[in-house]
């Protein structure tokens, strides 16, 4: 019996059991944090004292803005070919009104070439608070992804694309990071034909969220204008605001725990349920068909 207890198989079992327990604990803590964020946001909505979910309208470019855009474009053309080509590609896909954050941020952005020999999980990284892109490899494939983050960052609104953070009373909250990452990669693939992705589950979930929009280009506009509130309000055409907040936070959980396949499947089934309650039979049938495709993909 003693030999059995100290055998390699048992030690491996104990080790694996420890990993499982650790993962379970981490997932539980994440759910508690996200639950707190949900409660904070729901309380803010209930008391009607927040400004997070007020419909925002987007103005057309005025004469002064057009002149600034032209100056920035000329400067990029002369100083940075890669970013100039990125900007030119953006103009082919989206309206000038959606490029305000790019033009604002690129004028003061910094670029850090990190030549450290240490391995890094990122090829490049955008720090939204510092408006800085760090590059870890020569001309990384992820540069366009991070430039999209820069193009959708509105620091004054504390929102980067669909990733928002703030406080209500004395409680802080954060919401939309998973959706922001997934949708950023969707646009990265559409605009720049990038196929290597690090977060396929977030891409799939974000593509399903996009189907709640009557016009997908409106989601693109909300993203570039860093307007999570407009996305939430678009979702409330198909569900109540509590469900809208909850589903975005569930995608945040998937971002933190991408290997929790059971939870991922539950999120897709929840999206099917929410879509079905507000759309016609044929629309729902097509949505379910697409959603089921995402369930069988495990990576």
158-167 per-position pLDDT tens digit: 999 999 999 9
Domain count, the chain: 1
pLDDT at position 48: 76
Alpha helices in 109-260 (DSSP H): 143-151, 177-192, 200-210, 216-224, 228-235, 241-256
Task: Let me know: does 251 contact 175? Beta carbons within 8 Å.
Answer: no
Vertex 142 angle, CA 212 and 148, to 5°: 50
49-97 per-position pLDDT tens digit: 666 778 889 999 999 999 999 999 999 999 989 899 999 999 999 999 9
Domain that holds residue 110: 1-299
**Span 261-265, mean pLDDT?**
95
What does pTM read for this prediction? 0.89
Q: How confident is the model at residue 21 (pLDDT cuts 50, 70, 90)?
A: low
For the cut 80, the answer to whether the pLDDT of residue 23 exceeds it is: no
Measured CA to CA, the distance from residue 70 to residue 53 in angstroms comes to 33
Residue 294 or residue 252, greater confidence: 252
For the cut 60, the answer to whether the pLDDT of residue 5 exceeds it is: no
In this structure, the chain runs to a length of 299
Vertex 134 angle, CA 131 and 136, to 5°: 170
Mean pLDDT, the chain, rounded, equals 88
Q: How confident is the model at residue 47 (pLDDT cuts 50, 70, 90)?
A: confident
Decide: helix, strand or coil at residue 160: strand
**Span 98-113, mean pLDDT?**
94
**Span 122-148, mean pLDDT?**
87
């Amino acid at each position: 019996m003693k030999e059995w207890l100290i055998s390699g198989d048992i030690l491996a079992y104990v080790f694996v059991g420890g990993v499982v327990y650790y993962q379970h604990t981490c997932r539980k803590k994440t759910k508690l944090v996200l639950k707190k964020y949900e409660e904070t946001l729901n309380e803010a909505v209930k008391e009607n004292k927040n400004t997070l979910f007020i419909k925002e309208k987007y103005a057309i470019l005025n004469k002064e803005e057009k002149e600034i855009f032209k100056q920035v474009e000329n400067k990029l053309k002369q100083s940075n070919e890669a970013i100039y080509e990125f900007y030119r590609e953006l103009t082919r896909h989206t309206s000038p009104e959606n490029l305000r954050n790019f033009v604002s941020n690129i004028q003061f952005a910094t670029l850090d070439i990190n030549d450290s020999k240490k391995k890094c999980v990122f090829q490049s990284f955008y720090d939204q608070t510092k408006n800085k892109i760090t590059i870890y490899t020569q001309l990384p494939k992820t540069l366009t992804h991070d430039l999209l983050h820069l193009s959708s960052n509105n620091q004054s609104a504390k929102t980067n694309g669909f990733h928002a953070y703030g406080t209500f009373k004395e409680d802080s909250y954060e919401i939309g990071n998973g959706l922001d990452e997934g949708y950023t990669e969707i646009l990265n693939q559409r605009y720049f034909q990038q196929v290597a992705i690090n977060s396929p589950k977030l891409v799939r979930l974000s593509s399903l969220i996009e189907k709640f929009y009557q016009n997908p280009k409106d989601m693109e506009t909300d993203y570039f204008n860093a307007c999570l509130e407009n996305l939430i309000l678009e979702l409330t055409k198909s569900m109540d605001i509590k469900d809208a907040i909850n589903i975005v936070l569930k995608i945040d959980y998937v971002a933190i725990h991408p290997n929790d396949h059971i939870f991922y499947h539950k999120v897709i089934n929840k999206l099917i349920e929410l879509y079905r309650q507000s759309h016609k039979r044929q629309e729902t049938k097509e949505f379910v068909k697409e959603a089921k495709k995402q369930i069988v993909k495990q990576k």
